[in-house]
C-alpha cells in the first residue's frame, strides 16, 4: 500500500539533510579557511565539489531510477550521507574536506534523483505546487543550518559537533524509507516508452529550459553558498543575511499554490528574475542594515526558481519523465560547480589587484590581527565580495530577456491549442 503522506514527509526529511549540509557548510567556510589555512581558491574548490557531485549523482540516478526503483536510490543516498558526514567530522585539511564534501554532494543528488519524480508521481495533478512545498525544505534547512552555526559559534561549540547534528535527520529518513512501499514513476505509469522519453529530451523547449536552469541555479545557489565569504568583511552579520533570504524562500514556497495559479509557472519565473537582479544590485552596493533589504528582495526573487523550473518541465514536457527532471537538476548544479571554481579564483585575483604590487596572499592571510598587512587584506576583502556579487547580477539580467520570451511563447502556444 502506497502511503502518500508518509512518503512525502520522509522525502522532506531527506531534502532537509541536503539543505542542512548547504547551510552548515556556508557558515563554516570562513572557519575552515581560518583554522585549516585554506585559500579562497581551495574553499571554492571544496564548495564546488558538492555541486559537481550532485549532478553526477542526479543524472546517473535519473537514468537508472526506472530500472532499480526509487527506494533503492534513497538507500544509496542514506549511505553516502552517512559516510560524507562522518568523514567531514574527521577531516583535518583540504583533501579530507574535498572527499567528504564530494560524498555529501553525491548523496544530495541521489535524494533529488529519487524524490523529484516521487513527488511528481504522488501528486500528478498538482505538480508545481507540491514540488514547491517539497522544496521549501531546502531553504528551511538552510535557515536551520545557518542558525545552528551562528548560535553554536557564539558559545564556542566546535564545527565538528555542528556537522554531526546532520546525523539525526539522516538516520530518521533512512529508517522511514526502509519501511515504506514506493510507486513506479509517472512516466512508467503512463506507458511512455523509453524511446519517446529520449525524443522528448531533444525538444527545443526542453533544451531552452536546461540553459535557463544554468542561470537560475547559479543566481540562487552560488550567492547563498558564498554569501558569508563575500560579505564577511562588509557586515558583522553576513551569515544572517543568508538566513533572512532563505526564510523568505520558506514562506514563499509554502504559499506557492495561489502564486502559481495567478501568474502561471512562466510568469512566476519572469517576476522572480526581476526581483533577483534587483536584490543582487542592493547586496553589492549597500552596507549595514540596508543589506537586509537586499536579502529580502533577493529571497523573494530566488524563492520559486528551482521548484518552478522543475514544475514547468513536469507539466509542459511530461514525456521527459524522471530523466528530464533530473537532467534539469544536474544541469543547474553542474553550472554552479563550474561558476564557483571560477569565482573562487577570481576572488583571489581581485584581492591581489587591491593589495600592493607583488603582494603574497598567503603572507597577508597569516598576518596577525591589527597589523598593517591584516588591515590591508580586510579592506581588500570588503571590496572584492561586492565585486563578485555585482558580476553575478549579469546572469538574472540575461534571464529577464529569456523568460520574457518564454511568457510570449507559452501565450502563443495556449492560443493555438
Burial class (CB in 10 A: 0-12, 13-18, 19+), 356: exposed
User: Distance (Å, rounded) from C-alpha 112 to C-alpha 19?
Assistant: 12
In this prediction, residue 334 carries a pLDDT of: 85
CATH of the domain at 39: 1.20.1250.20
SS3 195: helix
Burial class (CB in 10 A: 0-12, 13-18, 19+), 250: buried
In this prediction, residue 204 carries a pLDDT of: 96
The boundaries of the domain holding residue 45 are 4-416
Are the CB atoms for 327 and 61 separated by under 8 Å?
Answer: no
Gyration radius from the chain CA atoms: 21
In this prediction, residue 398 carries a pLDDT of: 97
Number of H-type helices and E-type strands within the chain? 20, 0
Give the chain's domain count.
1
In this prediction, residue 362 carries a pLDDT of: 67
pTM: 0.78
List, for the chain, all residue ranges whose pLDDT scores fall below the cut of 70: 228-239, 358, 360, 362-367, 417
Secondary structure letter of residue 417 according to DSSP:
-
What's the grid cell of residue 322? 524522471
- Helix residue ranges per DSSP H, 36-90: 40-68, 70-90
Q: Which residue's entry shows cell 531553504? A: 139
- Can you spell out the DSSP letters for 141-163? HHHHHHHHHHHHHHTT--HHHHH
In this prediction, residue 238 carries a pLDDT of: 65
Convert the pLDDT of each residue in 229-271 to its tens digit: 666 655 666 667 777 887 888 899 988 888 888 888 999 999 9
In this prediction, residue 111 carries a pLDDT of: 92
Are the CB atoms for 190 and 63 separated by under 8 Å?
Answer: no
Cβ partners under 8 Å of residue 318, min gap 6: 186, 187, 190, 192
Are the CB atoms for 228 and 346 separated by under 8 Å?
Answer: no
In this prediction, residue 110 carries a pLDDT of: 92
Amino acid at each position: 500500500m502506497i502511503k502518500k503522506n508518509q512518503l512525502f514527509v520522509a522525502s522532506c526529511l531527506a531534502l532537509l539533510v541536503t539543505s542542512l549540509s548547504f547551510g552548515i557548510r556556508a557558515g563554516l567556510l570562513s572557519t575552515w579557511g581560518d583554522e585549516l589555512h585554506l585559500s579562497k581558491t581551495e574553499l571554492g574548490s571544496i564548495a564546488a565539489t558538492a555541486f559537481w557531485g550532485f549532478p553526477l549523482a542526479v543524472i546517473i540516478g535519473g537514468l537508472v531510477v526506472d530500472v532499480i526503483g526509487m527506494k533503492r536510490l534513497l538507500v544509496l543516498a542514506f549511505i553516502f550521507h552517512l559516510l560524507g558526514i562522518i568523514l567531514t567530522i574527521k577531516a583535518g585539511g583540504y583533501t579530507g574536506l574535498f572527499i567528504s564534501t564530494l560524498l555529501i554532494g553525491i548523496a544530495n543528488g541521489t535524494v533529488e534523483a529519487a524524490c523529484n519524480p516521487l513527488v511528481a508521481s504522488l501528486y500528478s495533478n498538482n505538480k508545481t505546487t507540491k514540488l514547491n512545498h517539497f522544496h521549501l525544505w531546502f531553504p528551511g534547512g538552510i535557515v536551520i543550518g545557518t542558525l545552528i552555526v551562528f548560535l553554536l559559534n557564539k558559545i564556542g561549540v566546535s564545527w565538528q559537533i555542528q556537522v554531526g547534528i546532520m546525523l539525526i535527520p539522516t538516520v530518521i529518513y533512512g529508517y522511514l524509507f526502509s519501511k515504506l512501499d514506493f510507486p513506479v514513476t509517472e512516466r512508467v505509469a503512463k506507458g511512455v516508452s523509453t524511446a519517446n522519453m529520449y525524443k522528448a529530451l531533444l525538444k527545443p523547449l526542453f533544451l531552452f529550459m536546461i540553459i535557463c536552469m544554468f542561470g537560475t541555479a547559479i543566481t540562487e545557489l552560488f550567492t547563498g553558498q558564498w554569501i558569508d565569504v563575500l560579505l564577511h568583511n562588509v557586515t558583522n552579520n553576513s551569515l544572517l543575511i543568508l538566513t533572512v533570504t532563505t526564510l523568505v524562500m520558506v514562506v514563499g514556497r509554502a504559499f506557492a499554490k495561489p502564486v502559481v495559479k495567478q501568474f502561471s509557472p512562466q510568469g512566476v519565473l519572469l517576476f522572480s528574475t526581476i526581483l533577483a537582479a534587483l536584490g543582487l544590485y542592493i547586496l553589492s552596493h549597500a552596507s549595514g542594515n540596508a543589506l537586509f533589504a537586499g536579502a529580502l528582495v533577493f529571497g523573494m526573487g530566488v524563492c520559486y526558481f528551482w521548484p518552478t523550473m522543475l514544475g514547468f518541465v513536469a507539466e509542459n514536457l511530461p514525456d521527459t519523465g524522471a530523466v528530464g527532471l533530473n537532467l534539469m537538476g544536474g544541469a543547474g548544479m553542474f553550472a554552479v560547480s563550474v561558476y564557483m571554481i571560477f569565482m573562487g579564483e577570481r576572488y583571489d585575483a581581485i584581492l591581489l589587484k587591491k593589495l600592493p604590487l607583488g603582494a603574497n596572499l598567503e603572507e597577508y592571510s597569516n598576518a596577525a590581527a591589527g597589523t598593517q598587512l591584516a588591515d590591508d587584506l580586510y579592506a581588500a576583502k570588503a571590496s572584492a565580495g561586492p565585486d563578485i556579487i555585482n558580476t553575478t547580477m549579469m546572469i538574472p539580467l540575461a534571464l529577464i530577456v529569456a523568460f520574457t520570451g518564454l511568457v510570449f511563447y507559452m501565450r502563443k502556444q495556449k492560443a493555438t491549442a
